[in-house]
Amino acid sequence: MAWRAERRKPPGDCAGITRRRTPLPVLAAISPDPSKLADYLAMIKSAQNPEHGDYQANFAMPLAKTLKRKPPEVAAEILQQLPPNDVIETTSVAGPGFINIRLKNSWLAQQVHAMAGDERLGIAPAATPKTYVIDYSGPNVAKPLHVGHLRSTIIGEALCRLLRFLGHKVVGDNHLGDWGTQFGMLLYGYKNFLDEAAYKTDPVRELARLYRHVREVAKANDDDEAEKGNPVADAYRGETVKLHAGDAENVALWKQFMPPCMEEVNAIYRRLEVKFDHLHGESFYNPMLADVVKDLLEKGVAEKSEAAVIIREGKDKVSLIQKRDGAYTYTTTDLATIKYRVDTWKPDAMLFVVDFRQGDHFKNLFAAAKRWGYQGVELAHVSFGSVLG
């Protein structure tokens, strides 16, 4: 993936790039095989231990082998022949023949000045600009924001800014969790445990309380041994199903909950100076899901299994895209999302900035999307770890 910058020659008189090739004539003179030179140059790496210098060159060992000489000797000879230059401060030979190099502070300062004086910091714009969709942040807005969403927000925003700076077209899209079970929990909480006065004065706070309260009540009703299910969980799932089916009361309440929930996350985005081009949350795709499942069935990507619809992932793994009760899943929504984005923005790549726990989900999702016909777009999960404790 071409996310990385192409390094541009520093502007003005600062010929750092050519000067840095100083070892080449010396190497060329000593090396019997000119075809090896590129390999040798590639052996100049950042120093592993900064105490030894800024760079280390490891080519003396293979070179000595071809010359049938001792590596430290070859290393010393190369250093001796280095022409005077204003780049290198000190050199030394260490261990079996590593060459350590420390750069001159004055030269480094010159480079930094040249970059600072260039409005593009010495970075060339991409030769072939691409279109990227970056899917980031994605909080579940009925719940308090957690640190994983904060990380996705910051990493995603950084990617957007970097790719834009490189001259690519970037569409930043916040795939809000605005349609899931948490809203069923709020609906159930609202209908059963609402503190009306509290809701009037501070709706966000009351909704957060209701969410926590329903979760606790559901937990208290969890009794695995009884095997009769969890009546509270059943009840709030029922509310979610009704919402998705377009039940007038639940849809009206959902519309009422959304602005205060959004205000909660918007305050954080304002503080972080994060701006999205789009906030197409899960609810946005709801009207498309039936057609998506139909098309997946017609194209043979999905199949019916009892009353459900599944996509097979290898031998014995399946992804559910429509449950027996007719409900669609996270995967169905994400497939609709990929289709919508390709139809709308025709991107070269779509990056999903989500923590590593969803690695399997994205692996299966991308495989299904490819089978569905989306081979032309690069799909990537930009994964990051979770904060523990």
Q: Which of 79, 160, 321, 354 binds ligand ARG (CB under 6 A)?
A: 354
276 binds ligand ARG (CB under 6 A): no
State the DSSP code for 226: G
Rg over CA atoms, the chain: 29
Please identify, among the stretches 46-54, 86-94, 107-115, 132-140, the one whose residues bind ligand ARG according to the rule CB under 6 A: 132-140
Question: Residues 197-236 vs ligand ARG: string with x where CB under 6 A?
Answer: ----------------------------------------
Neighbours of 2 (CB within 10 A): 15
3-state secondary structure of 252: helix
- Tokens for 220? 């208290």
Q: Terminus-to-terminus CA distance in the chain, angstroms? A: 34
311 phi, psi to nearest 5 deg: -120, 130
352 binds ligand ARG (CB under 6 A): yes
Quick one: three-class SS letters along 322-351? ECCCCCECHHHHHHHHHHHHHHHHCCCEEE
Q: How far is the CB of 137 from ligand ARG (least distance, A)?
A: 8
175 binds ligand ARG (CB under 6 A): yes
Please identify, among the stretches 2-10, 12-20, 69-77, 134-142, the one whose residues bind ligand ARG according to the rule CB under 6 A: 134-142
Q: Which of 31, 58, 140, 182 binds ligand ARG (CB under 6 A)?
A: 140
Footprint of ligand ARG on residues 4-43 (CB under 6 A)?
none
Distance of CA 309 to the CA centre of its chain: 29
State the DSSP code for 245: T
Q: How far is the CB of 368 from ligand ARG (least distance, A)?
A: 13
Rounded CA separation 250/183 (Å): 9
Question: Residues 78-117 vs ligand ARG: string with x where CB under 6 A?
Answer: ----------------------------------------
Please identify, among the stretches 135-143, 212-220, 259-267, 294-302, the one whose residues bind ligand ARG according to the rule CB under 6 A: 135-143
CB–CB of 144/32 below 8 Å?
A: no
Distance of CA 87 to the CA centre of its chain: 38
By CB under 6 A, the count of residues binding ligand ARG is 9
3-state secondary structure of 83: coil
Q: Strand 6-7 to strand 123-124: parallel, antiparallel, or no bridges (unpaired)?
A: antiparallel
Q: Which is nearer to ligand ARG, 87 or 243 (CB)?
A: 243
Q: How far is the CB of 115 from ligand ARG (least distance, A)?
A: 35
Q: Which is nearer to ligand ARG, 211 or 352 (CB)?
A: 352
Query: CB under 8 Å to 319, separation ≥6 — which residues?
Result: 310, 311, 313, 329, 331, 364, 365, 368
Q: Which residue is nearest to ligand ARG (CB)?
A: 138
Q: Which of 60, 63, 93, 135 binds ligand ARG (CB under 6 A)?
A: 135
Rounded CA separation 338/133 (Å): 10
Positive/negative CA dihedral, 102, 107, 113, 114:
negative
130 binds ligand ARG (CB under 6 A): no
Q: Which is nearer to ligand ARG, 111 or 181 (CB)?
A: 181
Q: Which is nearer to ligand ARG, 135 or 157 (CB)?
A: 135
Question: Residues 307-346 vs ligand ARG: string with x where CB under 6 A?
Answer: ---------------------------x--x---------
- Tokens for 305? 């299994």
Query: CB under 8 Å to 20, separation ≥6 — which residues?
Result: 87
Question: Residues 176-195 vs ligand ARG: string with x where CB under 6 A?
Answer: -x------------------
Residues that bind ligand ARG (CB under 6 A): 135, 138, 140, 175, 177, 334, 337, 352, 354
